[in-house]
Amino acid sequence: MKKTLLSLFALAAMSATAFAAEVQPALVYGTGGKFDKSFNEAAHAGAEKFKAETGIDYRDFEPTSDTQGEQAIRNFASRGFNPVVAVSFAWTSAMEKVAAEYPDTKFVIVDSVVDLPNVRSVVYKEEEGSYLVGLLAGMASKTGKFGFVGGMDIPLIRKFACGYVQGVKAAKADAQIFQNMVGTTGAAWNDPVRAGELTKNQIDQGADVIYAAAGASGLGVLQTAADNGKFSIGVDSNQNHLHPGKVLTSMVKRVDLAVYNAYKDTQGDKFTPGVQALGIKEDGVSAAIDDNNKSLITAEMQAAVDKAKADIVAGTVKVHDYMSDNSCPN
Amino acid sequence: MSTASVPLPAWISYGVIPLINLMLAFFFSGLVIWSIGENPFEALKFLVQGALGRGDAIGFTLFYATSFIFTGLSVAVAFHAGLFNIGSEGQAYIGGLGAALVALALDRYVPWYVTMPFAIAGAAIFGAAWAFIPAWLQAKRGSHIVITTIMFNFIAAALMVYLLVNVFIVPGKMAPETRTFLPGGQLPKLDWLMALFGLRLGPAPFNVSFVIALVMCFLVWVLIWRTKLGYEMRTLGVSPTAAVYAGVPYVRTVIVAMLISGALAGMMALNVVMGASARLQVEFVAGAGFVGIAVSLMGRSHPVGILFAALLFGILYQGGADLSFEMPNITRDMIVVIQGLVILFAGALEYMLRPAMVRLYQQFAGK
């Protein structure tokens, strides 16, 4: 009897230490690399914020191929890292496999959905944020012509483009929008020179606001637009500061929050699996307005954005999601 | 007397010299690692352990090596005919389309060993077809094969993105990829082979394609050194004018060499598409076509050499990833530097040490 009690105690003690949720955070980036000033860097910022607040260090990894991504996620899980956060839809199938192999580890995937009891899937309503920046673009433009430079022609980028077009048209119904993609390979996310050339081309056709949704390539869009005295719109991270007064706004996607919350929730033992769809209402996406672009945003534009936000939250304005039927109304 | 023409025994030219070159490459990599403040010996330990230390590590190493064998052979076959095929990347990409179409069509009805021969044929035919146009342009119009095959890599990428995003994508899914193949469309893992050596394969996607790759090594050897076509190709590679003068049909030989090259590149897709991910994904080739150029160069365009060079690159890929995982200071760009040094010393500077070796050899051989 004594023995069983003792072993019960031991068991309780063991489970208690397990319960105290030892956080050992890990982060796997997309193949774009850590310092892309955009999507991956936002994830990095979230992890850094957690580290600064709690003093708990994290480990990260930059995979170069799909196989390496899966290996990295598995390596982290097998070494007891918890939670393991993987940003980019490219890790969907990897996450499906590894999360099933390690049911006691908590996983977070950003930009995609994995339906497993230990996985939190964080997706963003990029169409809503893109609608807002499109609205601002529509009001800032003098020519009525607009540019969109995407990285690669994949559903995610079409989602950005579709929201943008709707926002622009909400401000200027007869707007003309030029859309170009940087490339067809992974290099497309890291080719600022080519993105800049596309931007130049769009400017030559009359565009005076150009929205970049192309990872690190977007830096070329911002640079070219600034050089030619036109407006650009940044993406994922707040990029207003890169060319103060030249970047109209940035469509901020709070990837940092997804990473930070994953670590924080695990630490506080409040981790919940399931899908989190973050839109304007949840503060997951927004149009960045700060000191760098304040002078560009008129009171009228500010009012329009505030109204659009309220309408979207209230549901009176519905921004069409490309993913819902794989098509865009315009 | 010039040292270039002095014959060296095979064990020196194919054994000692590459080994010394490799050591030099590792020595300079060590200096680079040391200069960023990490311990090079520690790094080497992680690299070797990460590539060969565990069952699954060996599995991943061999998985990468399998891809490199196919693309290495592809580059080598064209090279023997004097053609520099830079298009293995695109041919492998399109080969994936062939393999995937077969897998998608048959996986519901038949087991894998029935699907496999059709998939091999599908991958090979699609890969060859992609090599055909550059080959025809080279043979008939004189458009340089290097330029056309590079361009075809981009066309292949554009075509595949279009097909995956608009045709094959599973509706509502974010990732541009086909549905997952059922077991009838997958190539089984070689875990029993690993078990023979007492190793556990674990999650590593080391699969039957490795056996196909070995068979192809043998077939390429037969083709190049034991057939009339191979002889014609080699003659063409040494001197096109002499070959034509001797009656080798130029157009036919160029086109056939490129078709075989494309087919071998296409088969690389079996390893990744059917052996590992069980679906066709964008960018699945991930540079293996270009690594094939280095592998073929280092392997002196000989199947045995290619086999070893592919293994070496498999080790560098797998071990390198593990190294940057264990030592976060060593970024992925650092791994590329190390791979570059290996290519530089073992591939490009092949003959740097040869004169010294010849002198040493002559002294010891007493000539």
Q: pLDDT digit of tens for each residue in chain A (330 aa)?
A: 455 544 544 444 444 444 445 789 999 998 878 888 889 999 999 999 999 999 999 999 998 888 888 989 999 999 999 999 999 888 998 999 999 999 999 999 999 999 999 999 999 999 999 999 999 999 999 999 999 999 998 899 999 999 999 999 999 999 999 999 998 887 888 899 999 999 999 999 999 999 999 988 999 999 999 999 999 999 999 999 999 999 999 999 999 999 999 999 999 989 999 999 999 999 999 999 999 999 999 999 999 999 999 999 999 999 999 988 888 886
Per-residue tokens: A233: 């719109």
Residues 6 or more apart whose Cβ sits within 8 Å of residue A302: A289
Which residue numbers in chain B have pLDDT < 50?
A: 1
Helix axes B55-80, A66-78, angle to 10 degrees: 170
Do A2-124+256-278 and A126-252+298-325 fold alike per CATH?
Answer: yes
- pLDDT value, residue B8: 81
Of A71, A93, A111, the CB nearest to B321: A71
Residue A58, chain B, CB below 8 Å: the answer is no
Provide the shortest C-alpha distance from residue A118 to chain B (in Å): 20
**Contact: A152, B174; criterion CB under 8 Å:** no
Contact in structure between A225 and A203 (CB atoms under 8 Å):
yes
**Contact: A155, B276; criterion CB under 8 Å:** no
Provide the shortest C-alpha distance from residue A154 to chain B (in Å): 6
Question: A with B: how many residue pairs have Cβ under 8 Å apart?
Answer: 84
Of A33, A111, A184, the CB nearest to B154: A184
**Contact: B283, A93; criterion CB under 8 Å:** no
Contact in structure between B322 and B57 (CB atoms under 8 Å):
yes
Q: Show the DSSP H helices in chain B as ranges.
A: 10, 17-35, 40-52, 55-80, 88-106, 112-136, 145-163, 191-196, 209-226, 228-238, 240-245, 250-269, 288-298, 303-326, 332-342, 354-365
Residue B331, chain A, CB below 8 Å: the answer is yes
Interface test with B, best of A44, A65, A95, A109 (most B CBs within 10 A): A65
Residues B300, B304, B305, B306, CA torsion sign = positive
Residue A233, chain B, CB below 8 Å: the answer is no
Residue A210, chain B, CB below 8 Å: the answer is no
Nearest CA in chain B to A69: B321
User: Which 3-state string (H, E, C) describes chain A?
Assistant: CHHHHHHHHHHHHHHHHHHCCCCECEEECCCCCCCCCCHHHHHHHHHHHHHHHHCCCCEEECCCCHHHHHHHHHHHHHCCCECEEEECHHHHHHHHHHHHHCCCCCEEEECCCCCCCCEEEEEECHHHHHHHHHHHHHHHCCCCEEEEEEEECCHHHHHHHHHHHHHHHHHCCCCEEEEEEEECCHHHHHCHHHHHHHHHHHHHCCCCEEEEECHHHHHHHHHHHHHCCCEEEEEECCCHHHCCCCEEEEEEECHHHHHHHHHHHHHCCCCCCEEEEECCCCCCEEECCCCCCHHHCCHHHHHHHHHHHHHHHHCCCCCCCHHHHCCCCC
User: Which residue is listed with tokens 């190539």?
Assistant: B187
Helix axes B250-269, B88-106, angle to 10 degrees: 60
**Contact: B158, A184; criterion CB under 8 Å:** yes
- pLDDT value, residue B5: 66
- For B185, which DSSP code? G
Nearest CA in chain B to A325: B172
> Looking at beta carbons, which residues of chain B come within 8 Å of A156?
174
Per-residue tokens: B130: 């992609």
- Nearest alpha carbon to residue A69 among B277, B253, B305, B99: B277
Nearest CA in chain A to B159: A184
CA distance A98 to A103: 9
**Contact: A66, B325; criterion CB under 8 Å:** no
Of A61, A89, A323, the CB nearest to B325: A61
Nearest CA in chain A to B178: A93
Nearest CA in chain A to B335: A64
- pLDDT value, residue A15: 43
How many Cα atoms are found within 13 Å in the side-chain-facing hemisphere of B129?
A: 13
How many Cα atoms are found within 13 Å in the side-chain-facing hemisphere of A244?
A: 6
Report domain extents, chain A: 2-124+256-278, 126-252+298-325
What residues does B272 pair with on adjacent strands?
none
Domains and CATH numbers, chain B: 6-38+329-360 (no CATH), 59-328 (1.10.3470)
Nearest CA in chain B to A26: B325
Residues 61-90, chain B: which have Cβ within 8 Å of A?
A: 63-64
User: Which residue is listed with tokens 């019960």?
Assistant: A8
Per-residue tokens: B24: 């030099």
Residue B72: count of CB within 10 angstroms of its CB: 36
Report the phi/psi class of residue B173: left, alpha or beta, with left for phi > 0 and alpha for psi in -120 to 50: beta
Residue B150, chain A, CB below 8 Å: the answer is no
CA distance B262 to B248: 21
- pLDDT value, residue A11: 45
Interface test with B, best of A40, A185, A189 (most B CBs within 10 A): A185
CA distances to A143, A325, B69, B320, B343 from B88, rounded to whole Å, are 46, 36, 12, 23, 18
User: Which residue is listed with tokens 């309408």?
Assistant: A311
CA distance A95 to A119: 9
Of A60, A66, A152, the CB nearest to B286: A66
> Looking at beta carbons, which residues of chain A come within 8 Å of B284?
66
Label the pairing between strands A26-28 and A59-61.
Answer: parallel
Residues 149-178, chain A: which have Cβ within 8 Å of B?
A: 152-156
Residue B167, chain A, CB below 8 Å: the answer is no
**Contact: B175, A92; criterion CB under 8 Å:** yes
Residues 6 or more apart whose Cβ sits within 8 Å of residue B293: B71, B75, B86, B88
Contact in structure between A29 and A60 (CB atoms under 8 Å):
yes
Q: How far is CA B159 from the centre of its chain?
A: 23
> Looking at beta carbons, which residues of chain B come within 8 Å of A75?
322, 325
> Looking at beta carbons, which residues of chain A come within 8 Å of B173?
92, 155
Is this prediction's pTM over 0.80? Answer: yes
CA distance B317 to B61: 7
CA distance A215 to A218: 6
Nearest CA in chain A to B158: A184
Residues 6 or more apart whose Cβ sits within 8 Å of residue B241: none
Residue B359: count of CB within 10 angstroms of its CB: 12
Nearest CA in chain B to A94: B277
Contact in structure between B207 and B63 (CB atoms under 8 Å):
yes
**Contact: B286, A65; criterion CB under 8 Å:** yes
> Looking at beta carbons, which residues of chain A come within 8 Å of B322?
75
CA distances to A54, A84, A124 from A49, rounded to whole Å, are 9, 16, 20
Contact in structure between A27 and A87 (CB atoms under 8 Å):
yes
Residues A208, A214, A220, A222, CA torsion sign = positive
CA distance B334 to B340: 10
- pLDDT value, residue A18: 43
Of B171, B175, B281, the CB nearest to A112: B175
**Contact: B174, A63; criterion CB under 8 Å:** no
CA distance A64 to B287: 10
Contact in structure between A113 and A275 (CB atoms under 8 Å):
yes
> Looking at beta carbons, which residues of chain B come within 8 Å of A97?
203
**Contact: B60, A67; criterion CB under 8 Å:** yes
- Nearest alpha carbon to residue A220 among A240, A243, A247, A197: A197
CATH 3.40.390.10 fits A126-252+298-325, yes or no: no
Q: If one looks up domain A2-124+256-278 in CATH, what number appears?
A: 3.40.50.2300
Of A60, A75, A326, the CB nearest to B171: A326
The total number of residues shown for chain A amounts to 330
Contact in structure between B318 and B67 (CB atoms under 8 Å):
no
ipTM: 0.82
